[in-house]
Amino acid sequence: MIVELGVGVLAVGAAGCALWMLRQRKAMLRRHVLRQRKVRKYIEED
């Protein structure tokens, strides 16, 4: 019983960590894309 509980907690923790990592990566990608767009705008203006 205690072992099953521990495994469940570990699984939930791992899933939460994976979701958080994915969210962080998405945010980083979005920032990167926005930065590239800004750079492209500056290049086109010149």
Q: What is the pLDDT of residue 24?
A: 96
Does residue 38 belong to any structural domain of this protein? yes
Length of the chain: 46
Does residue 11 belong to any structural domain of this protein? no
- Per-residue pLDDT tens digits for 1-46: 789 999 999 999 999 999 999 999 999 999 999 999 988 888 887 6
Record the pTM. 0.55
In whole angstroms, what is the distance from residue 27 CA to residue 4 CA? 35
Does residue 2 belong to any structural domain of this protein? no
Q: What is the pLDDT of residue 39?
A: 85
Q: What is the pLDDT of residue 5?
A: 92
Does residue 28 belong to any structural domain of this protein? yes
Domain of 25?
A: 19-46
Q: What is the pLDDT of residue 7?
A: 93
Does residue 1 belong to any structural domain of this protein? no
% helix, strand, coil for the chain, step of 5:
95, 0, 5
How many domains is the chain built from? 1
Q: What is the pLDDT of residue 42?
A: 83
